[in-house]
Amino acid sequence: MSKKQNTELTLTDTETGLIIKKANKTIAEIKEEDGSFVVYLSGKEVQSTRTMDLAVEEAIKAYHLSV
């Protein structure tokens, strides 16, 4: 059975939204556009949500699926 690792993510507030980092690597960016929050992974738009909380959840889910 494999052991689970604890992963620490850093959320940084910016003028245009939020940046999610793991150590020194940016894993996702969330930008507010026209009243919605758009999730970007590697510069590509992944998801658009109504709230920042949902955008953070979607960014983490998308990152885990891409790893």
pLDDT in tens, 19-50: 999 988 999 999 999 989 999 998 899 999 99
Task: Judge whether 47 and 55 are in contact, CB under 8 Å.
Answer: yes
Bridge partners of residue 55, in order along the sequence: none
For the chain, what are the domain ranges? Answer: 12-66
Whose tokens are 């910016």? That residue is 14
Task: Judge whether 20 and 33 are in contact, CB under 8 Å.
Answer: no
In this prediction, residue 15 carries a pLDDT of 92
- 39 CB burial (10 A radius; 0-12, 13-18, 19+): buried
Between residues 37 and 1, which one has the greater pLDDT? 37
Average pLDDT over all residues of the chain: 89
- 51 CB burial (10 A radius; 0-12, 13-18, 19+): exposed
Percentage of residues in the chain having pLDDT higher than 70: 91
